[in-house]
Structure 1
Amino acid sequence: MIKLMADSTCDLSEEIIEKYNIGIAPLNIIIDGTSYKDKIDITSDEFYKRLPMLETLPTTSMPSPEEYLKIIDKAIEEGYREILCICMSSGTSGSYQSAIIAQDIFFDRNPNTDIKIYVVDSLSMSHGSGWLIIKSAQLIEQGYSFERIIEFNESYKTRVKHLLCVDDLNNLIKSGRLTNASAFIGKLLRVKPIMTMRKGKGAIVAKERGRNRVLKYYIDEFKERVDLEVTDFIIVGYTSVIEMANNLVEKIKTETNFKDKIYIMQMGAAVGTHVGLGGLSMFFVEKRNIKDGLVKNELKSILNKKDELIEKLKG
């Protein structure tokens, strides 16, 4: 039997966590000096209601190794012999390192055990690691071996495409979740920046004016990039405005050929601390070797506007 576990930044719904019996190690959110366990002591909705009224930006801290060890011990009691832990990117959180420490402690305490534990650095944020967890759960149902599921995660984790738009970059800049170059660019922009993950950290790849243009960008990128052989579900995430997620899902259904499952899931307080209000995200697996970047996308945008202008002049 294979047990899945993760840190709470995977932001999976309670329905999915219960369905696949996923063990979750909660991050800690510190608000005005008080520590809360993500999704245990404070719900996402409670957090986003409080966020606009806070004078000081909340901070987060990784789960302790003991939180992971509790999940490991319980899993063994339940009969699991193989444990796969999928963590938020080591470039944005200490969750991965904490899970590795827990793994080492377990084997030090149990030198002759036949239990197998493997920790994946997902190089992802939020539902990026969540996508890998759901896919791993599906592979378990299909009878894949522990080794093959590990191989899948290590092979595809860099191809889980992140699209994340935020209303305000201040939270991401202050918390260090952006690369230095992207933080500098972000300060200059007076439009909605769109981010992805690059080498385990957030990087701005495009900028759009208004939510409608953001949605169009998401759909265009999805059509160009999606690997339909692997992407049998999409995750659409939001922080505080579910209507934005609903609008994106409707566009996916009406403007693309994708007919499989689309999940809508809220980002939790641990991720929301850095993303802020009005966040909208989308996750799927992209084809190999597709380049991405702000300069490339700006040139593409200019060419598209040129084509649109020519068509208008013809009309």
Structure 2
Amino acid sequence: MSIKILTDSASDLPLEFFHKQNVTCIPLRVHLNDKEYLDLETIQPKEVYEAIRNGAMPKTSQASPTALYEAFEEVAKSGDSCIYIAFSSELSGTYQTAMLMREDLLAEYPDFQFSIIDTKCASLGQGLVVHYATQLLNKSLSFEDTCQQIKKYASTMQHIFTVDDLDFLAQGGRVSKASAFVGGLLNIKPLLHVEDGKLIPIEKIRGRKKVLKRMLELMEERGSNFKDQTIAISHGDDEETALQLKDMIQEKFGCTSFIINQIGAAVGSHAGPGTIALFFLEDVIA
């Protein structure tokens, strides 16, 4: 019996990661122009960013109960154990729905070893937790110890990111409207982080170059041993800036392991084009 890792599309990992690591990705839903799509399956991030640039306001909804139940049941039938690494419960109802599906499933499969972990993370912060979880599977840990290690990764994951327009997050309820200050005309860029699973604005900085420099300063303040961990950068259709940030991190900290990917359709519907997000652990977990 082995452990099967599942997550959802809010993890923003590259599709090839899921195939290579045998991780099941359950799609969140995107609603655009009166149609419903499945993130990474029937709609791609670039379509969402182009729609936003053309004035559309996509909305999102949690993964469907049916999709969650079917994914969980497939593992139950296989005889394997299951760990579902979920999008922050403060940003989506997916975790709560998954817990309800787990209750239903255990009524039918009472011996099924199954844990759902609320990462309190988003985008590649969640994705990095999944990345480290797959590495744990090679260490012959018990199911309980594997779950505990994954929770440690989630609890020490740092998120530092900037968006071009906080109004996208405010309209989707991801930050309070009071926090959604407007700075576009003055080239003011907000810096945010994640605190207990919630998106919290922390600073306003004038100019993209200064924002990237400040992200590195915060990285140095909040983390350590960067050369011994994987650094993740996700972007809202702005690979050039993501690679620029990677080069700055490489030069300053000597990091060699990176995951860089475009923010998916679900998270991107709220973050908007131009978002740059940086993720790392506070320290390496042995």
**1:285 corresponds to which residue?**
281
Q: How many angstroms does 1:160 deviate by?
A: 0.4
Quote the residue 2:271 is aligned against.
Answer: 275
Distance 1:211 1:229, change over 3 A: closer
SS at match of 2:30: strand
Q: Which amino acid aligns with 2:7?
A: A
Aligned to 1:110: 109
Determine helix, strand or coil for the equivalent of 2:180.
Answer: helix
Deviation of the 1:287 alpha carbon: 4.9
Query: Match of 1:272, as an amino acid?
Result: G
How far apart are the structure 1 equivalents of 2:274 and 2:79?
Answer: 40
**Cα distance, 1:46 vs. partner?**
2.0
- Structure 1: unaligned runs, 5 residues or longer: 289-315
- 1:49 deviates by 1.9
Tell me the equivalent position of 2:71: 71
Secondary structure of the residue that 1:282 maps to in structure 2? strand
- Structure 1 position 98, deviation (Å): 1.4
Residue 188 of structure 2 corresponds to residue 213 of structure 1? no
Q: Distance in 2 between matches of 1:122 and 1:264?
A: 20
Paired position in structure 2 for 1:35: 36
Q: Which residue of 2 aligns with 1:171?
A: 168
State yes or no: 1:132 paired with 2:133. no
Match of 1:264 in 2: 260
> Structure 1 counterpart of 2:121, which letter?
S
SS of 1:207 mapped into structure 2: strand
Residues 231-246 of structure 1: matches in 2 within 5 Å? 232-246=229-243
Aligned partner of residue 148 in structure 1, secondary structure? helix
1:184 is aligned to 178
> Percent of aligned pairs with the same residue?
29
Q: Corresponding residue for 2:198?
A: 201
C-alpha separation in 1, matches of 2:49 and 2:182: 26
Q: 2:88 matched to which residue of 1?
A: 89
How far off its partner does 1:230 sit? 9.8
Per-residue deviation, residues 138-191 of structure 1 (Å, max 9, x unmatched): 11123222211211222332320001100111110111111x3xx424326551
After superposition, what is the alpha-carbon deviation per residue over 1:207-235, rounded to whole angstroms, capped at 9, x for unaligned? 21111111111111222222328961011
Aligned length: 280
The secondary structure found in structure 2 opposite 1:273 is helix
> In structure 1, what is the Cα distance between the partners aligned to 2:64 and 2:227?
34
Structure 2: state its 5+ residue gaps: none
Among 135, 139, 142, the residue aligned to 1:142? 139
CA distance in 1 between counterparts of 2:107 and 2:245 reads: 48
Retained in 1: the 8 A contact 2:165–2:182?
Answer: no
Separation of aligned partners in 2, 1:121 and 1:231: 25
Tell me the secondary structure at the aligned position of residue 18 of structure 1: helix
- Check if 1:161 corresponds to 2:158: yes
Task: Indicate conservation of the 8 Å contact 2:230/2:257, yes or no.
Answer: yes
Alignment partners' CA distance in 2, 1:157 and 1:85: 13
So what's the TM-score if we normalise by structure 1? 0.84
Specify the SS of the correspondent of 1:98. Answer: helix
TM-score, normalised on structure 2? 0.92
- Whether the aligned pair in 2 keeps the contact of 1:2 and 1:80 (CA below 8 Å) is no
